[in-house]
Amino acid sequence: MLILGIESSCDETGVALVRGGDAGTPVLLAHALHSQIEMHQAYGGVVPELASRDHIRRVLPLSDHVLAEAQQALSDVDVVAFTRGPGLAGALLVGAGVACALAAALDRPVLGVHHLEGHLLSPFLSADPPAFPFVALLVSGGHTQLMEVQGVGRYRLLGETIDDAAGEAFDKSAKLMGLGYPGGPALSRLAEQGDASAFKLPRPLLHSGNLDFSFAGLKTAVLTQARKLGEALESRKADLAAATEAAIVEVLVKKSLAALVQTGLRRLVVAGGVGANRPLRAQLNAACAARGVRVHYPELHLCTDNGAMIAMAAAMRLQAGIQPAQRSYAFDVKPRWPLDALAIS
């Protein structure tokens, strides 16, 4: 079964081909990605209308590229999968429209995929895929969640952010320091040159007794500190970046460990763009090794939004028999769509 996956939820257009079967882990044959970072830099953030228009330009050429790389014809595709949500409504509609048009033209079934489920299952694309059950830490630009995962579609929400996500904390703090867009990676690079102990920043909800997150207060503390520094900020920017990163990472690590204790599980999966952060990986690796816990990540180039994770999620749902593909080409999208709404008993 050959699955073409299309991702267009925000500012990256991704297309991939995955070969799925009745047994074993589906195999990634080819994927291609176009990032809109350069286009949005002039505006300091994603402009939804521009994002949607760029997806229109990119999705078919990327599809042709992926098919050629995998040495497959469009007529070989058995299922067309697309990101149904969550994300920017206009951007989602591009991927959904193209996917349903292709499927209709080929007389093939189509399947809408949850963007976060794609991230959650993306480590199955790695050389060291996990096994069920596990605790999943989903950390991206707009989402920070801890989930108990018993199998495909068997998800239980353990905790989530009540305001800003970890990725937003990185990006907003970077903007306060004048680091431009995208802020998170820029802040992390600068933090490598700084002293994380130079400033004492809060760790919101670290001792709350639950598994929820909150990063809005940290952003406010960074703003307050930047104002206190005034003109001295430029010379202390690396230290402030390092302190900010350390605060975010400590909360993510300790909450993840608490989730493992609460569930009694011995396996952790980390997915989403923030999952590429080096200090986060290093600290989680050390803490999990000390506790005899296996930790899994997607490959670095598959941490951000991509078509491979959408095709993989579709293949795994079809293989598990929990969601049939449909020959119905009237589509809708779900800009707001909680992951636990997919849960099956």
Would you give per-residue pLDDT tens digits along the chain (345 residues)? 999 999 999 999 999 999 987 777 899 999 999 999 999 998 989 999 999 999 999 999 999 999 999 999 999 999 999 999 999 999 999 999 999 999 999 999 999 999 999 999 999 999 889 999 999 999 988 899 999 999 999 999 999 999 999 999 999 999 999 998 889 999 999 999 999 999 999 999 999 999 999 999 999 999 999 999 999 999 999 999 999 999 999 999 999 999 999 999 999 999 999 999 999 999 999 999 999 999 999 999 999 999 999 999 999 999 999 988 999 999 999 999 999 888 775
Other CB atoms within 10 Å distance of the CB of residue 282: 12
How far is the C-alpha of 88 from the C-alpha of 53, rounded, in Å?
12
Q: Which two tokens stand for residue 337?
A: 């769509």
Q: Which amino acid is at 142?
A: G
Domain spans, the chain: 2-121+302-342, 129-297
Is the Cβ–Cβ distance between 305 and 10 less than 8 Å? yes
Give me the pLDDT at residue 186, please. Answer: 95
DSSP classification of residue 297: -
* Fold topology of 2-121+302-342: Nucleotidyltransferase; domain 5 (3.30.420)
- Residue 160, beta-bridge partner list: 145
How far is the C-alpha of 59 from the C-alpha of 163, rounded, in Å?
33
Strand-strand pairing, 134-139 and 110-114? unpaired
Which residues, at least 6 apart from 198, have a Cβ–Cβ distance to it below 8 Å? Answer: 236, 239, 240, 242, 243
Does the domain at 129-297 match CATH 3.40.50.2300? Answer given as no
Other CB atoms within 10 Å distance of the CB of residue 260: 20
pTM, 2 dp: 0.95
